[in-house]
């Protein structure tokens, strides 16, 4: 894990002091609300529907037990005893008071954490594959690159007042678990001709009102060129991105309106000039950062206890089959702890649950914790021998839900239960879906399925890339839910298509039941996933299931 240098520590503490001063200056009138707003957003502070909300960065999703304990502490002292893990590897506290926020930031600084650039029109918290350093398909650990970008982008003087927010994701594996294709910049580790690693750079991806899949702007960027290349992209965007319409201000629109080739020329020109400033910098820094992320020393623990429990305990077996991923070391497993209990709020964890997770990580899992964009928690390095004990403890804390990748493992943004921008609620929809399909006992039969729900067109719930996406809208003062089908967030990324009109909250669950019934009937076998089936047959059979009346009329 990355350990703060003296510089990092002094920086975040100075930043806390600066924010404390800004809060005071807002209260005494030196700063207007208009001026204060971007400053508080850059420090993670929103004003939401019912209260302020503090969004804390978990850079590239990596935490240790000490930090998780501190999040639990913050939740109890300044919030209502829980936190909400988001789709961008952040945690949100929903109920802070303005005057307490500097103290919360101070508590974060005590454990080398911060809320810097988790919001606002700047480069946001850099995200990465949540299996980094553990996955068996990894070309390289994406976290040193992400940390380099964190440092470079933090309070970058040129890029604090961009036309709009700017999101960067890094993946080190051919299997894309970081949704790099839906980010303003996606960075993927690739091998060059001589087997050296470099980056593939994607630009202009993003969801929101105009969803777009990122385009390759450089198929191989030598590692040493990363920072000057990033500066070149950001400078061109900062100077030329649209500022007249906030829905057209993301870089994806600039790419679209300027054309990829023309934009690429502008970026390359800027890059040539920027490159002179960074001779050999990336390479040397990355080498020193690599040392921070060296894997722990894995021990060859006896795993007979694991095998034995598997044969005897069906609950344990089911959990293992659903919630474990292959680790690069065969003696270990990657454990995903589900924050999606039946009828629960996706991504929420109580302070006690956070402590349980922290203690498990410390005792059994090399003190490493990850947060995924799918709103779950991951223990990346677990010796198999410890799995039975971990499962027992998770069960006692309501954390042993065996549903990863299944229908109830839903991504849902806070929606109108909390978010000031929302047009409808998303949490109750997620709760109803998980409850209903649990009652029907259909979850396992349906198999891999990603449902993603957003409470407005901003698409924080990634609905466009859900196999089934749900978008909550306000139709003449009533909540209405639009469905999209066939979206995909991985390396085969696709934007889902809308099969027809939306549904009221009451109509939505029955419509989903019809949809999934149809899938179960028409799939080739139990092995054909919903997405594969949709890709094979197109949307017609699913349309018929969703809109039986209009299908009948047409017949």
Residues at the interface with ligand SF4 (CB under 6 A):
413-415, 419, 421-422, 454-456, 458-461
427/489 with CB nearer another protein: 427
Work out what residue 47 binds among another protein, ligand SF4, none; the CB cut-off runs from 5 to 8 Å by kind: another protein
22/67 with CB nearer another protein: 22
Work out what residue 435 binds among another protein, ligand SF4, none; the CB cut-off runs from 5 to 8 Å by kind: none
**Three-state secondary structure readout of 470-494:** EEEEEECCEEEEEEEECCECCCCCE
Work out what residue 309 binds among another protein, ligand SF4, none; the CB cut-off runs from 5 to 8 Å by kind: none
Residue 474: CB minimum distance to another protein, A: 8
Cα Dmax for the chain? 72
CA–CA separation, 270 vs 433, rounded Å?
A: 50
Task: Calculate ∠ Cα 318-322-327, nearest 5°.
Answer: 120
46/199 with CB nearer ligand SF4: 46
Does residue 314 touch another protein according to CB under 8 A? no
CA atoms within 13 A of residue 472's CA, in its CB half-sphere: 29
Is residue 345 within 8 Å of 151, Cβ to Cβ? no
Q: Where in 12-51 is the site for another protein (CB under 8 A)? A: 14, 18, 21-22, 25-27, 29-33, 35, 38-39, 47-51
110, β-bridge pairs? none
Residue 374: CB minimum distance to ligand SF4, A: 15
List helix spans (H) across 313-446.
Answer: 314-323, 351-364, 387-396, 427-439, 443-446
Residue 104: CB minimum distance to ligand SF4, A: 21
Residue 278: CB minimum distance to ligand SF4, A: 35
C-alpha closest to that of 311 among 303, 301, 323? 303
String of contacts with another protein for each residue 162-201, x by CB under 8 A: x---------------------------------------
Residue 172: CB minimum distance to ligand SF4, A: 28
> And the tokens for 363?
């005792």
96/380 with CB nearer another protein: 96
| Sign of the torsion angle spanned by Cα atoms 266, 121, 131, 148 | positive
3-state class of 403 per DSSP? coil
- Cα Rg, the chain, nearest whole Å: 23
Residue 184: CB minimum distance to another protein, A: 16
List helix spans (H) across 110-206.
Answer: 143-153
Q: Where in 99-158 is the site for another protein (CB under 8 A)? A: 99, 121, 148, 151-152, 154-158
Work out what residue 280 binds among another protein, ligand SF4, none; the CB cut-off runs from 5 to 8 Å by kind: another protein
Work out what residue 413 binds among ligand SF4, another protein, none; the CB cut-off runs from 5 to 8 Å by kind: ligand SF4
Helix (H) or strand (E) holding 535: helix 530-537
């Amino acid at each position: 894990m990355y350990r703060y240098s003296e510089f990092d520590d002094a920086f975040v503490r100075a930043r806390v002091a600066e924010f404390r001063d800004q809060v005071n200056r807002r209260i005494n009138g030196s700063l207007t609300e208009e001026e204060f707003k971007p400053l508080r957003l850059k420090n993670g502070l929103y004003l939401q529907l019912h209260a302020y909300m503090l969004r804390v960065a978990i850079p590239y999703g990596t935490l240790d037990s000490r930090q998780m304990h501190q999040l639990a502490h913050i939740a109890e002292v300044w919030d209502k005893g829980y936190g909400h893990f988001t789709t961008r590897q952040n945690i949100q506290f929903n109920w802070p008071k303005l005057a307490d926020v500097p103290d919360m930031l101070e508590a974060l600084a005590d454990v080398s954490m911060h809320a810097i650039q988790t919001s606002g029109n700047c480069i946001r918290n850099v995200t990465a594959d949540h299996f980094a350093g553990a996955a068996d398909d990894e070309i390289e650990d994406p976290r040193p690159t992400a940390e380099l970008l964190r440092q470079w982008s933090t309070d970058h003087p040129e890029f604090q007042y961009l036309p709009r927010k700017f999101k960067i994701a890094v993946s080190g594996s051919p299997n894309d678990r970081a949704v790099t294709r839906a980010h303003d910049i996606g960075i993927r580790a690739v091998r060059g001709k001589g087997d050296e690693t470099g980056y593939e750079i994607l630009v202009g991806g993003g969801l929101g009102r105009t969803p777009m899949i990122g385009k390759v702007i450089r198929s191989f960027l030598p590692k040493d060129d990363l920072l000057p290349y990033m500066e070149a992209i950001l400078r061109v965007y900062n100077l030329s991105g649209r500022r007249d319409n906030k829905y057209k201000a993301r870089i994806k629109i600039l790419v679209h309106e300027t054309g990829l080739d023309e934009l690429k020329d502008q970026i390359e020109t800027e890059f040539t000039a920027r490159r002179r400033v960074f001779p050999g910098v990336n390479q040397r820094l990355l080498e020193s950062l690599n040392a921070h992320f060296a894997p722990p020393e894995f021990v060859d623990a006896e795993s007979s206890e694991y095998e034995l429990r598997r044969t005897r305990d069906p609950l344990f077996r089911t959990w293992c089959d659903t919630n474990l991923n292959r680790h690069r070391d065969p003696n270990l497993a990657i454990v995903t702890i589900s924050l999606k209990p039946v009828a629960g709020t996706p991504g929420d964890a109580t302070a006690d649950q956070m402590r349980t997770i922290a203690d498990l990580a410390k005792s059994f899992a090399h003190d490493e914790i990850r947060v995924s964009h799918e709103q779950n928690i991951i223990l990346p390095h677990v010796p198999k021998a410890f799995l039975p004990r971990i499962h027992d403890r998770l069960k006692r804390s309501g954390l042993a839900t065996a549903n990863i990748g299944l229908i109830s493992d839903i991504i849902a943004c806070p929606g109108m239960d909390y978010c000031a921008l929302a047009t409808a609620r998303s949490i109750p929809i997620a709760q109803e879906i998980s409850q209903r399909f649990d009652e029907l006992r259909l979850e396992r039969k349906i198999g891999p399925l990603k449902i993603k729900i957003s409470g407005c067109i901003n698409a924080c719930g990634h609905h466009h890339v859900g196999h089934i996406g749900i978008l909550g809208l306000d139709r003449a003062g009533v909540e209405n839910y639009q469905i999209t089908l066939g979206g995909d967030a991985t390396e085969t990324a696709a934007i889902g298509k809308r099969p027809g009109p939306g549904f009221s909250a009451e109509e939505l669950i029955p419509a989903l039941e019809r949809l999934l019934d149809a899938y179960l009937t028409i799939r080739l076998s139990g092995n054909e996933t919903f997405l594969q089936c949709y890709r094979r047959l197109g949307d017609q059979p699913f349309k018929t299931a969703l809109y039986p009346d209009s299908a009948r009329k047409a017949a």
